[in-house]
């Protein structure tokens, strides 16, 4: 089956997070989070070796949206859920990468911004929903950028 015919949710909402496909205009949000988290990201993410410009971050966001729609790479922007239920603070990125649609396998990667370490646990819950929401995944592998010594929050339910 052609991957373009596979319905993949462009937005996932949990009690604590909103994950959505990148959109034009996201570059400034992504850039600020990357800049703030660059030192923590550098050891884990090849793309985080130098600070990008806002325009470079905007290009990355727009390309990510295009690749999502083509089912080549399923990057999502992560936001805290605001009190009104809308998108709050941008807290990082997530994605399904190295996709093999033939066997329904991909690698899950994510990076919380420096202040969003709680987001990584809520993200795992959102990914579990995502995998059950149309992608019919057989196998997945996780790659993440985070401080391994960070304290685990007491409540990881999303």
31: left (phi over 0), alpha (psi -120 to 50) or beta: alpha
Whole-angstrom Cα distance, residue 139 to residue 102? 12
In tens digits, the chain (158 residues) has pLDDT values of 899 999 999 999 988 889 999 999 999 999 999 999 898 888 888 888 999 999 999 999 999 999 999 999 999 999 999 999 999 999 999 888 899 998 888 888 888 887 765 555 555 556 555 555 444 444 444 444 444 344 333 333 34
Instruction: Please report the pLDDT score of residue 106 as a whole number.
Output: 87
Q: Where are the domains of the chain?
A: 3-144
How many Å separate Cα 51 from the centre of its chain? Answer: 19
Please report, for the chain, how many H helices and E strands are present, in that order. 3, 6
- Does residue 108 contact residue 123 with C-beta atoms inside 8 Å? no
CATH architecture of 3-144: 3-Layer(aba) Sandwich (3.40)
- Does residue 95 contact residue 109 with C-beta atoms inside 8 Å? yes
């Amino acid at each position: 089956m052609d991957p373009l015919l596979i319905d993949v949710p462009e937005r996932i909402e949990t009690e604590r997070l909103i994950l959505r496909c990148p959109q034009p205009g996201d570059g400034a949000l992504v850039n600020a989070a990357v800049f703030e988290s660059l030192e923590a990201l550098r050891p884990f993410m090849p793309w985080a070796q130098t600070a990008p410009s806002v325009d470079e971050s905007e290009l990355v966001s727009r390309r990510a949206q295009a690749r999502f729609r083509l089912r080549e790479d399923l990057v999502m922007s992560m936001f805290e859920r605001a009190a009104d239920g809308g998108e709050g603070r941008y807290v990082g990125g997530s994605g399904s990468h190295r996709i093999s649609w033939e066997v329904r396998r991909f690698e899950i990667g994510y990076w919380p911004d420096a202040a969003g370490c709680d987001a990584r646990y809520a993200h795992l819950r959102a990914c579990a929903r995502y995998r059950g929401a149309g992608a019919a995944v057989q196998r997945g592998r996780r790659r993440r950028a985070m401080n391994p010594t960070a304290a685990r929050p007491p409540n990881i339910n999303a």
